[in-house]
Structure 1
């Protein structure tokens, strides 16, 4: 869902992006640590920061 949010960001639909980010965080609520080679805690932190500041940016996993 985070990737879907970033697609909307690329389409200059920031409000939709933030909305999707919020739903993504709900789904990731019980997830933490590493998933394969993805640092779930880092992704959650980045998304939370973007929601709070409304400053959206792409990032590398």
Structure 2
């Protein structure tokens, strides 16, 4: 029984070390051509700002 526990412990430590220091896979590498979300896109934000100003939202209520 003690040998079984030692084997499981050794395998667990081996897997953890492999995950920590092993070869990186493709899923860890950054993707080329990252898609920009609308709230991060400067052109989109500029267009919203222009729309808001043309709508008269920035003016104080009368």
TM-score (norm 2): 0.29
Structure number with greater Rg is 2
Higher relative contact order (CA 8 A, sep 6+): 1
- TM-score (ref. length: structure 1): 0.29
